[in-house]
Amino acid sequence: MAYQNLISEVKEHILYLTINREKALNALNKDTLAELADVVAFANKTDEVRGVIITGAGEKAFVAGADIKEFADYNGKQGKELAKRGQEQVFDAIENATKPFIAAINGFALGGGLELAMACHMRIAADNARLGLPEVTLGLIPGYGGTQRLTQLVGKGKAIEMITTANMITAADALAFGLVNHVVPQADLISKAEEILNLVKQRAPLAVSAAIKSVIAAVNNHNGYATEIEAFGKCFETADFKEGVAAFVEKRKAIFKGK
C-alpha cells in the first residue's frame, strides 16, 4: 500500500508499519492518523496479516506526539472531536484488533506517541528510548486514551506522577514499571518483535484472537470473565481446535488454518 506518511509492508504474514515523518519526529498529524486508520482496518480484515509491528522512522523518535502545530488554534469542540475520532479510528481499533500489534519503541515516545504504543498489545523499547506524557506542559492532558491505558499498565500512583510532572522516563524505568515488555539494544528491536510474532504465528489464529479479546475485556470493564467463558466455548467449534488436539495425540506439529 502506498501512503504519504507511513511505510507499510507485509512480509511472511507480519505487517511492518513505520511512521515516516522523521523531520517532525514522526508526530501524528491528521493525514498520518487517517492513514493509520486505513492500514489498521486493512490489517484487521486480511488473513494474510498475522501480526503487526509499529515503529518510527529514523533513530531518534518512535512518535513525539500529536502534531502540536496542527491543533495550535483549536477550540474545545475541535479538541474533543480530535480525541474522539483518533481514539475510535486508530487507538481503540488497534487495541480491539484480532491479531497482536507490537510497538517497537525506537526513541522518543511522547504524548500521542506513547498513547499509540500503549494501544498496542505489547511494547518493546530500545535501551535509549524515552517515554512520557508531557501534555500538561502545553496546558493539555492526554487525549488518545493515555490517562486510562497508563493507569492500567503502571497503576494510579505512577500514572499520576508521570502525567502531572510531565517527566520522561528511561526504557529501564519503563521496564521496571511494567510499561514495556522488553528492553533491547536499538539494533535488535525489530528482531525481538519478530521473535514474539513468529511464535504467535505458529498458534491457532482464532484462539489468539479470542485470547486478546478476553484480556482486553479485563482491562476495559467489558465483563472479562463472561467474555472469556463465551470465547472459550467458541474455540471448541473451530477446526483448529480439532487439529490441535489431533496433533497432540498423534505427536506431530499442528497445522492451523484459522478456521
Q: Which residues are catalytic?
A: 115, 135
Site string for ligand HXC, 13-32 (x = CB under 6 A): -----------xx-x-----
Q: Is residue 131 a contact point for ligand HXC (CB under 6 A)?
A: no
- As a dihedral over the C-alpha atoms of residue 18, residue 179, residue 43, residue 82, rounded to 10 degrees, the angle is -80
User: Smallest distance from the beta carbon of 222 to ligand HXC, in angstroms?
Assistant: 23
Name the minimum Å distance from CB 11 to ligand HXC: 29
Q: Binding of ligand HXC at residue 56 (CB under 6 A)?
A: no
Half-sphere exposure of 251 (CA within 13 A, CB side): 0
CB of 105 to ligand HXC, least distance (A): 13
Cell of residue 204, nine digits:
491457532
- 240 contributes a contact to ligand HXC by CB under 6 A: no
Tell the smallest beta-carbon distance from residue 165 to ligand HXC (Å).
14
| Residue closer to ligand HXC, measured from CB, 98 or 152 | 152
Is 150 an interacting residue with respect to ligand HXC (CB under 6 A)? no
Residue from the set 143, 159, 189, 213 that interacts with ligand HXC by CB under 6 A: 143
Give the relative orientation of helices 205-219 and 239-249 as an angle to the nearest 10 degrees.
Answer: 110
| d(C-alpha 28, C-alpha 20), whole Å | 10
Q: How far is Cα 162 from Cα 175, in angstroms, rounded to an integer?
A: 15
Per-residue cell: 116: 499509540
Which amino acid is located at 218 in the chain? A
Which lies closer to ligand HXC via its Cβ, residue 83 or residue 197? 83
37 lines the binding site for ligand HXC (CB under 6 A): no
H or E segment and range at residue 225: helix 224-235
> Cell 492451523 sits at which residue?
256
Instruction: List binders of ligand HXC among 96-115 (CB under 6 A).
Output: 108, 110-112
Parallel/antiparallel/unpaired status of strands 169-170 and 51-56? unpaired
- The size of the interface with ligand HXC (CB under 6 A), counted in residues, is 22
DSSP single-letter state for residue 186 = G
Site string for ligand HXC, 62-91 (x = CB under 6 A): --xxxxxx------------xx--x-----
CA 122 to CA 195: how far, in whole Å? 13
Which grid coordinates are listed for 58?
A: 529514523
**Which residues of this chain interact with ligand HXC, rule CB under 6 A?**
24-25, 27, 64-69, 82-83, 86, 108, 110-112, 134-135, 138, 142-144
